[in-house]
Amino acid sequence: MAIVDSYAVNYTKKYVTVPPVLVHASYEGKTLTMMDTVETLASDVGATLYMFRPPKGARWNGMGFLATDALGAGRTCAVGIAGTTDKFLAATDHSAAARTELGKIATIASLMYEFDGATDVIVTTAGDAITGDETVTLMMQFVVA
């Protein structure tokens, strides 16, 4: 079998297609890092933690992490948006103190998701009760124009 050259979508637009297609500047723009921390309250049921709202046009570049204190036996956390609570991180075990890399677990469909300036990034918890005040920290990086 012969080796075949393959080109990425935007590489093709800019350098292979004649004439080239202009690619939006945000595809090669700057990186915006957003990070925030919530002190969760003890709860018997799942909680929704509103972490931050990326600006319009920001696209998630696949980088980030979720770090928590020990939330209690059977407690999971997911990262997403309203309507798709596991868009960036499916429910993962955070019963013990944990740090989960988002990009390693995220689906390919969530990479370069473009925000509209009105959508919040949320962390949802599920499982057994959170036994006390615990810290949840989320960091995500976005590409912006």
Which amino acid, one-letter code, is at 42?
A: A
Domains and CATH numbers, the chain: 24-144 (2.60.120)
Q: Which residues contact 69 (CB under 8 A, 6 or more apart)?
A: 97, 134, 135, 136
Residue 106 has phi, psi (to 5 degrees) of -65, 155
State the pTM of this model: 0.77
Q: Which residues contact 75 (CB under 8 A, 6 or more apart)?
A: 93, 94, 95, 125, 126, 127, 128, 130
pLDDT in tens, 50-62: 999 999 989 998 9
Low-confidence residues of the chain: pLDDT under 70: 1-7, 9-10, 22-29, 41-45, 105-107, 129, 131
CA-CA distance, 130 to 70, in Å (whole number)?
A: 9
